[in-house]
Chains A and B, each alone.
Chain A
Amino acid sequence: EAGVTQSPTHLIKTRGQQATLRCSPISGHTSVYWYQQALGLGLQFLLWYDEGEERNRGNFPPRFSGRQFPNYSSELNVNALELEDSALYLCASSFRGMAKNIQYFGAGTRLSVL
């Protein structure tokens, strides 16, 4: 069974540009979570999607947005990129995001903003 897949693996952008990151959850999982992991730091929660709707959002500016498609895959969009957006962006999926469900992580997209 395939795990959580993310693309691209690496993404290089310049300040002010837009970045789009993609995530395909494990088959059968309906919830997708996005996290930002800056170098040497922990995981900061960005967004949670379930059944196509945004369910919760972390403390990030509105230029971080996303969506979930009918097949439960998801996109994370970062507009007006800033240097400090450089980080590893991790996607995780779970069964319907109830309190006890485990999150399975993808390998991440490393975004570099120059």
Chain B
Amino acid sequence: GQQVMQIPQYQHVQEGEDFTTYCNSSTTLSNIQWYKQRPGGHPVFLIQLVKSGEVKKQKRLTFQFGEAKKNSSLHITATQTTDVGTYFCAGRAGGGTSYGKLTFGQGTILTVHP
């Protein structure tokens, strides 16, 4: 079945440093979504990418979807302590038995040291 691998599993940065997490799918995706889960909280939707090669920005966050629609990345510029949490990518395959099912990556736990 479809697998979504996310790396790194953990990332510790000093406040002000940049951070990137990568997501790779074993199959071509119809779209990919990114979620953030604060410690003790629940996943909160950040963004959805649909088009091949798409790049979207939200303030200090930059999201990319690969040309082959099998990989994606999230880059945070100049991290702040408010960025702490686990970042998940979630890919959705095009159809068949995977229809409607989001496959989540294992997540990257980001800690930011002030």
Binding site for B on A (CB under 8 A): 31, 33, 35, 41-45, 48, 50, 55-56, 58-59, 90, 92, 97-100, 102-108
- Chain B residues within an 8 Å CB radius of A58: 101
Question: Are B100 and A105 within 8 A (Cβ)?
Answer: no
- Closest partner residue, chain B, to A104 (CB atom): B45
- Closest partner residue, chain A, to B6 (CB atom): A42
Question: What is the CB-to-nearest-CB distance from A22 to chain B, in angstroms, rounded to a whole number?
Answer: 16
Question: Are B44 and A105 within 8 A (Cβ)?
Answer: yes
Number of A-B contacts (CB under 8 A): 63
Which residue from A31, A59, A105 sits with its C-beta under 8 Å from B42? A105
* A23 and B99 alpha carbons, distance in the complex (Å): 22
| Among listed B52-60, B75-83, B90-98, interface-contacting one | B90-98
- Chain A residues within an 8 Å CB radius of B50: 100
Question: What is the CB-to-nearest-CB distance from A3 to chain B, in angstroms, rounded to a whole number?
Answer: 10
Question: Are A42 and B42 within 8 A (Cβ)?
Answer: no
- Chain A residues within an 8 Å CB radius of B1: 59
Given A48-B100, A56-B100, A105-B42, are A100 and B31 also a contact pair (CB < 8 Å)?
yes
* Supplied contacts A42-B106, A98-B100, A100-B48, 9 more A-B pairs, CB within 8 Å: A42-B6, A42-B107, A43-B88, A45-B101, A50-B100, A56-B97, A90-B43, A100-B31, A108-B42
Which residue from A45, A98, A102, A105 sits with its C-beta under 8 Å from B103? A45
Which residue from B43, B44, B88, B104 sits with its C-beta under 8 Å from A45? B104
- Chain B residues within an 8 Å CB radius of A90: 42-43
Which residue from A33, A99, A104 sits with its C-beta under 8 Å from B31? A99
Which residue from A44, A56, A105, A107 sits with its C-beta under 8 Å from B99? A56
Question: Are B100 and A31 within 8 A (Cβ)?
Answer: yes
7 pairs of residues in contact across A and B, judged by CB atoms under 8 Å: A35-B104, A41-B106, A42-B106, A50-B100, A97-B100, A99-B99, A103-B102
Asked if B85 is at the interface (CB within 8 A of a chain A CB), the reply is no
